[in-house]
Amino acid sequence: MLNIGCHLSVSKGFESMGKQAIELGGNTFQFFTRNPRGGKAKDIDAEDTQALLSLMKENNFAKILAHAPYTLNPCSKDERTREFAFETMSDDLKRMEYLPYNLYNFHPGSHVGQGVDAGIEMISSLLNTVLWEDMTTTVLLETMSGKGSEVGSKFTELREIIDNVQLKEKMGVCLDTCHVYDGGYDIKDNLEAVLEEFDKVIGIDRLKAIHINDSKNPFESHKDRHEKIGEGYIGIEAFERIVTHPVLKNLPFYLETPNELDGYAKEISLLKSF
Ligand code: FE
Ligand code: FE
Ligand code: ZN
């Protein structure tokens, strides 16, 4: 069975997201740990997280994915922004222990002219500060489209970040289909070769989650504009190959397509039909 869900709003709480995921035909979901532009997170309601954990167990949920705010940039030029990245991630990861053994995803960052190597250095040093031995969450680097000065649009960059992290066993990668296609990995016409390269450079065992999005822009456009499944340049046949691929099919898939809830429900049912 396909493990699939979509991005949901955390505003009504955790158990409510679990129920919503089920209503949409899914068995997982993604949410922002706080406002995507940053800001303070709501206090954790332990009763609510417990209720979600029971619901997940009863309904055979796959791991859920918490997404860090977009404003988090560990390799900013600005010290205050780097501090915000530290404070946010450190707080998020502590809170994630209310939902143990799940996933936390972040955009590695934009080096804003300081160079990729400096960016990689700052990203791994943040991780070396916020990760701890007994944490249960797996922290995922998201594959990026290479817009502006984004770090992480090449598998080699992600590998270097992980290489510099001491607690490597806490680290994984979330592959975003729109981002990698925009970034120059041809998952449409050459999925096999992309997965082989991922395995060779990063190691396929590090692949823990898929963001499943079509792209509004052609191959290698470095744009990062998501499209509904089958309505963009990647196309429906490619998505059928992706969700049924033996290396991928047991991973959790999260939709981040431009949709309201009914649109997500349709995409979930379409992808499950393959
Ligand atoms: Fe993302
Ligand atoms: Fe994504
Ligand atoms: Zn994106």
Structure tokens at 159: 């590998």
Q: What is the whole-number distance in angstroms between the Cα of residue 142 and the centre of ligand 2? A: 7
- H/E segment holding residue 260: none
- In the chain, the number of structural domains is 1
Contact 118, 77 (CB under 8 A): no
pLDDT at 41: 85
- pLDDT band per the 50, 70, 90 thresholds, residue 42: confident
Q: What is the whole-number distance in angstroms between the Cα of residue 227 and the centre of ligand 2? A: 12
pLDDT tens-digit readout, 47-60 = 999 999 999 999 99
Q: What is the mean pLDDT of residues 77-93?
A: 97
pLDDT tens-digit readout, 257-268 = 999 999 999 999
Q: What is the whole-number distance in angstroms between the Cα of residue 224 and the centre of ligand 3? A: 5
Distance separating alpha carbons of residues 101 and 160, to the nearest angstrom: 25
Residue 31: give the domain boundaries: 3-273
CATH assignment at residue 108:
3.20.20.150
Structure tokens at 164: 């510099």
Q: What is the mean pLDDT of residues 71-95?
A: 96
In this structure, which residues have their CB less than 5 angstroms from ion ligand 2?
176, 211
Q: What is the whole-number distance in angstroms between the Cα of residue 63 and the centre of ligand 3? A: 20
Q: Is the pLDDT of residue 38 over 80?
A: no
Distance separating alpha carbons of residues 219 and 237, to the nearest angstrom: 16
Q: What is the whole-number distance in angstroms between the Cα of residue 39 and the centre of ligand 3? A: 20
pLDDT tens-digit readout, 105-158 = 999 999 999 999 999 999 999 999 999 999 999 999 999 999 999 999 999 999
